[in-house]
Structure 1
Amino acid sequence: MKENTRMSIDWNTEVAKIRELRAARTKVGPGTTPAVVVVDFQRAFTEHENIGPSTAIALEHTNELLVAARAAGVPVIYLVMILDSLDDRMLAQRVRSSLTERCGRGNPWTEISSAVPAQPGDHIVEKTVASGFYKTRLEDLLHELGVDEVVMTGTSTSGCVRATVVDAAYRNFRISVVEECSDDFRTLSGEVSLWDMQDRFGDVVSKSWMLDRFAALQTERALDGAGVSL
């Protein structure tokens, strides 16, 4: 009988390896007109039975990022799963038990988490599947706002965040996934997805790097408003 090589894999070593690969991977680079996209940070996905401490931490990081984005005049877009019928879900979610069962229109579980509350001027886009682009107004909204870069936050990293990133890449948007602001209670899936997105679709960046960008953008726009040339 052949040895089961899968059982002999040291997954801690593998995770360390993909983190190194992710850090070394060539960056695509940011755009000039970003928007922050908040994926599914609603109660159904932030208060369920399987979440761990990482969720509250990611929400706290995200709220800090959103405050900075708004101060810099960067649009904030919330993606929320809202279903008029549970039959609107993809087949796998209808066959298996899924948190999407809590996403019927009017269900309190669909509310955006109070840890990252929407503010006047923010945009809310409803969706029915993992990708924020599938049969939604997201692409049209991004074009209306003149956006060339999506700054990705939300949950889950391996599910709805990744699906939205893939579709954004297909539409040639620049992509910046903020690591501290992305959450996945499936820890290994989240790590692998961060590497996959950095390798194939866009950039994974730190919150501190993005906050510095937003601060610089805020200063630049303030000087422009005052008629001062750099």
Structure 2
Amino acid sequence: MADDGLAESYAQAFAGRLTPGQSPALLLVDMVEAYLQPDSPLYCETAPAAVESGARLLDAARKGGRPIVFTNVEYEPGGADGGLFYRKAPVLEVFQRGSPLGAFPAALTPREGEWVVTKQYPSAFFATGLAERLHEAGVDTLLIGGFSTSGCVRASALDALQHGFVPLVVTDACADRHPAPHEANLFDLQAKYAELVDSEFGASLLA
């Protein structure tokens, strides 16, 4: 998405690369019905294709015996536990407890023993204890997909880096409501905070 001048400038300023570790895990961020149902205010046209890629990663992680983390969002009625985020983004009311829009799609339904992290803020790590649990499991690398690219995926990838995990953002397993924020955030994540990979490469690491 960047013009040649910007791409060259970023290439000079942000030339470092991160290498995957030996113990990867899969993090699927908020891959729930709110982004898949056309009548939802959070609907993403590209979300169904991202779910297919997420399912490919999930299958590889299960076969490889890797840790698997799903996140979802849930609020008390009226958003009493949503704080400033809920006030800033009132669309989050779709995630009040019991809403069908907060459910996982059939292709990405957690199994017994797989981790489900319920959160109230963008990052999968904020006030959830996820970093500690991943460290205890010996994880050093996270394959990250989910919704939306510019929101909770970005926040989770940044926090993964800050907690000492190599963040690998799986581009075809992410979606946003418009191509512009999707592409801009992937560009910036690659430049500064993460590495971009596709689901074929991601699945090979998890298998």
User: Where on the TM-score scale, by shorter chain, does this alignment land: which range?
Assistant: 0.7 to 0.9
- Residues 25 and 198 of structure 1 are in contact (CA less than 8 Å); yes or no, is this contact kept in structure 2? no
Q: Would you say 1:160 and 2:152 are equivalent positions?
A: yes
Counterpart of 1:185?
Answer: 177
TM-score by length of 2: 0.87
Q: Would you say 1:203 and 2:201 are equivalent positions?
A: no
Counterpart of 1:75?
Answer: 67
- Residues 87 and 94 of structure 1 are in contact (CA less than 8 Å); yes or no, is this contact kept in structure 2? no
1:137-176 equivalence runs, <5 A: 137-176=129-168
How far off its partner does 1:35 sit?
0.8
Structure with bigger gyration radius: 1
- Please, what is the CA RMSD of the aligned residues? 2.5
- One-letter amino acid of the structure 2 residue matched with residue 38 of structure 1: L
Structure 1: any 5+ residue segments left out of the alignment?
1-11, 216-230
Q: 1:130 aligns with which of 122, 137, 140?
A: 122
| d(CA) in 1 for partners of 2:17, 2:197 | 9
How far off its partner does 1:96 sit?
4.6
Cα distance change on mapping 1:120 and 1:203 into 2, 3 Å: same
Structure 2: any 5+ residue segments left out of the alignment?
none
TM-score by length of 1: 0.79
- Fraction of identical pairs, as percent: 29
Q: Would you say 1:30 and 2:23 are equivalent positions?
A: no
Secondary structure of 1:181 counterpart: strand
Cα distance change on mapping 1:172 and 1:96 into 2, 3 Å: closer
Q: 2:43 aligns with which of 51, 67, 72?
A: 51
Secondary structure of 2:80 counterpart: helix
Q: Would you say 1:109 and 2:101 are equivalent positions?
A: yes
| d(CA) in 2 for partners of 1:33, 1:89 | 34
How far off its partner does 1:95 sit?
4.5
- 1:170-204 residue CA offsets vs partner (Å, 9 max, x unmatched): 11211111111011113211111111111111211
